[in-house]
Structure 1
Amino acid sequence: MSDLLHVRDLHVTYRTDEGPLSAVRGIDLRVGRGEVLGIAGESGCGKSTLASTVLRLQPASADVTGAVLFDGADVLTMRWGDLRAVRWAGASIVFQGALHSLNPVRRVGVQIGEPIRVHEPEVGDDEVDARVTDLLEQVGLPAARAAAYPHQLSGGQRQRVMIAMALACRPDLVVADEPTTALDVMVQAQVLDLLSGLVRDLGVGMVVISHDLSVLADVCDRIAVMYAGRVVEQGPADEVFGRALHPYAAALSAAFPRVGDPASRYAPAGLPGDPPDPRESVAGCSFAPRCARAVERCRSEEPPLEEHLPGRTAACWRIGEP
């Protein structure tokens, strides 16, 4: 499978009044055509920073090193005109919180059609309207909803509009940042089924970002678990979710209750402590202060991300030890 997206040794540091804040530290990821990669982790681990950097949407206060190769071209160094062509037409993003991402005073059909008009100026109004209708139907909404304003739609409908907008210019890659946040369980399942179907039917590559490992296990081929700006485990979705190697990935998996499992129902599955402050450097493994299995080496040496099983990488000194 050829790489549609290859993130290579990516570092993102924000300049703040209180000093540099390291949000992403040495990320390496690959996404192939027709593949879904999930990015999991707590709030503040760098997931959304990674998502925005894929399309070079990071703020001016961010210092970025490394490479983000989309179809072989580095997004971080390409000229503005080339980057403008990549956005929407080559790769698009579904932002977290559709209500805040949609223009409240414009009808959603106009907003879905806008990227088509910008990137394909040769397309006439009638064809744009026809494509908007097709896109709405593709995401399970009637064509009449094109005339609605965002506030007239439910949360799930707004999320579907965002997905339709992301697909408007038929991109090869879609980045979905927390696409099911604040949705009820039934609507969440519908949106996840929709995303899975789009990858299957259209053959696009997709990156889905979520703090919920169970959400990713349902729709993703592979999962990368992030902690404190690093990937600490990566592998096939069912294996990471069911048999995690890294203690943090195991804690994320345990936080999801399993129906019919008494131990899951009655045993507390929370993780004590908080992620480290990204403004402070941590000697050793950043997860060590919260890890019940940490030893002295964990507190003094940062473990590399290494392959421990075929297709499974993890950054932990204690893997394989009792």
Structure 2
Amino acid sequence: MSTGTLSGGTGSGGGWLLEAEDLSVVYGTGAAAVPAVRGVGLTLGAGVTLGLAGESGCGKSTLALALLRLLPPSARLSGKILLDGEDVLTMRWGRLRAVRWAGASIVFQGAMHSLNAVHRIGDQIAEPLLVHRRATPGGARHRAGELLEQVGLPATRAHAYPHELSGGQRQRVMIAMALACEPRLVIADEPTTALDVMIQAQILRLIEGLVAEQGIGLMMISHDLAVLADTCDRLAVMYAGRIVEEGPARAVYDAAAHPYGRALSAAFPRVGDPASRLAPRGLPGDPPDPAALPAGCAFQPRCPVALPGCAHDDQPLRAAGEGRRAACVRVGE
């Protein structure tokens, strides 16, 4: 079942950088089929940041990889993914290879695992420029230095190997690499994972500045609603492969309309609020196994305000205030 389309703001021309419609991802076939993403719709415009939140196992990373067709052969995709109006799911391999750098790029989790340990970081940043921009070796090296300075590192660090950099510096290198071919869309999957609070703040401010200065569209994925509320224009909450709530980021964080969104928000202590610091509420249990989803609303077994009908009837996204929607029968009460 399609969940409808959530809005991430239009670009200056009124069009969308990214538009996904009824997007589903299933791993395996037949009785072993596992639905990881179920009927997701989303749009994202230039100069807009869309946050995607949810616990581990809710389908966030699978959705991100699906947008650029980076999933393994065992994954079956259906629906539509339009990047600047061109359907990613029907692209030939050569066109898709070019689009992954020049049209859209991704910053993966864990920079140390994403960077090649035996190559200098300058060479790794220069590689997409050599392949996709047909730059000369000297021009690519010069541009790599410029990109490092753009993300707050001296150009001389281009000669360093990944293990010679701190976690925050490696994350900056990943961002520089993602920006190398000047894509219009960047997908950042947990870009601040495992970084200390001070470095995390620096990376987030860097990302905000790049979106504002270059007018790129950014999708940022995290389990931390507080980070997304502070960084993003709009926020979507994902559970069991579906979008269950979306709206202005601060509004969703401060007063979520879906009980799952409220539980995520309450799980993080808030500065200046002793009650949340001393007794964060959290949420008992774990997200359901995608291979054995419960009937009705997938969140019903963990929901503190579920009604009897929730065990039988799934809920579509419905209006939950100005510019907001939530997939809950109690919306509007």
TM-score (norm 1): 0.97
1:195 aligns with one of 207, 213, 234: 207
C-alpha displacement of 1:17: 10
1:114 aligns with one of 127, 144, 161: 127
Aligned runs of 1:138-153 on 2, under 5 Å? 138-153=150-165
C-alpha displacement of 1:278: 0.4
User: In 2, Cα distance between the equivalents of 1:172 and 1:79?
Assistant: 20
Gap runs ≥5 in structure 1? none
* Contact 2:20–2:43 under 8 Å retained in 1: yes
C-alpha displacement of 1:320: 2.5
User: In 2, Cα distance between the equivalents of 1:35 and 1:78?
Assistant: 25
**Aligned residue in 2 for 1:67:** 80
C-alpha displacement of 1:52: 0.5
Q: Give the secondary-structure state (helix, strand or coil) at the position aligned to 1:88.
A: helix
**Aligned residue in 2 for 1:58:** 71
Output one character per residue of 1:258-288: Cα deviation in whole Å (capped at 9) or x when no partner.
Answer: 1121221223312011111100132111001
**Aligned residue in 1 for 2:266:** 254
User: In 2, Cα distance between the equivalents of 1:276 and 1:265?
Assistant: 28
The letter for the 1-side match of 2:67 is V
| C-alpha RMSD over aligned residues | 1.2
- Count the aligned residue pairs: 320
Output one character per residue of 1:76-127: Cα deviation in whole Å (capped at 9) or x when no partner.
Answer: 1111121112111110000011101011100000000000000011x22222
The answer to whether 1:164 aligns with 2:171 is no
The answer to whether 1:30 aligns with 2:35 is no
* Contact 2:269–2:280 under 8 Å retained in 1: no
2:25 aligns with one of 9, 12, 28: 12
User: In 2, Cα distance between the equivalents of 1:283 and 1:176?
Assistant: 32
User: In 2, Cα distance between the equivalents of 1:147 and 1:188?
Assistant: 24
Q: Give the secondary-structure state (helix, strand or coil) at the position aligned to 2:293.
A: coil
2:107 aligns with one of 75, 86, 94: 94
C-alpha displacement of 1:179: 0.3
The letter for the 2-side match of 1:151 is H
**Aligned residue in 2 for 1:284:** 296
Q: Give the secondary-structure state (helix, strand or coil) at the position aligned to 1:279.
A: helix
Q: Give the secondary-structure state (helix, strand or coil) at the position aligned to 2:269.
A: coil
Gap runs ≥5 in structure 2? 1-9
Output one character per residue of 1:24-43: Cα deviation in whole Å (capped at 9) or x when no partner.
Answer: 00100110001000000000
Q: Give the secondary-structure state (helix, strand or coil) at the position aligned to 1:248.
A: helix
**Aligned residue in 1 for 2:95:** 82
Q: Give the secondary-structure state (helix, strand or coil) at the position aligned to 1:3.
A: coil
C-alpha displacement of 1:18: 7.6
**Aligned residue in 1 for 2:16:** 3
Sequence identity percentage = 64
Q: Following superposition, which runs of at least 4 residues in structure 1 exceed 4 angstroms of deviation? A: none
**Aligned residue in 2 for 1:125:** 137
User: In 1, Cα distance between the equivalents of 2:315 and 2:66?
Assistant: 25
Output one character per residue of 1:134-173: Cα deviation in whole Å (capped at 9) or x when no partner.
Answer: 1000000011110011111111110000000000000000
User: In 2, Cα distance between the equivalents of 1:263 and 1:138?
Assistant: 41
Aligned runs of 1:208-219 on 2, under 5 Å? 208-219=220-231
Q: Give the secondary-structure state (helix, strand or coil) at the position aligned to 1:206.
A: strand
**Aligned residue in 2 for 1:269:** 281
User: In 1, Cα distance between the equivalents of 2:272 and 2:262?
Assistant: 19
* Residues 182, 17 of structure 1: alpha-carbon distance in 2 compared, 3 angstrom cutoff: farther
**Aligned residue in 2 for 1:314:** 326
My pick for the range that moved more, 280-289 or 218-227, is: 280-289
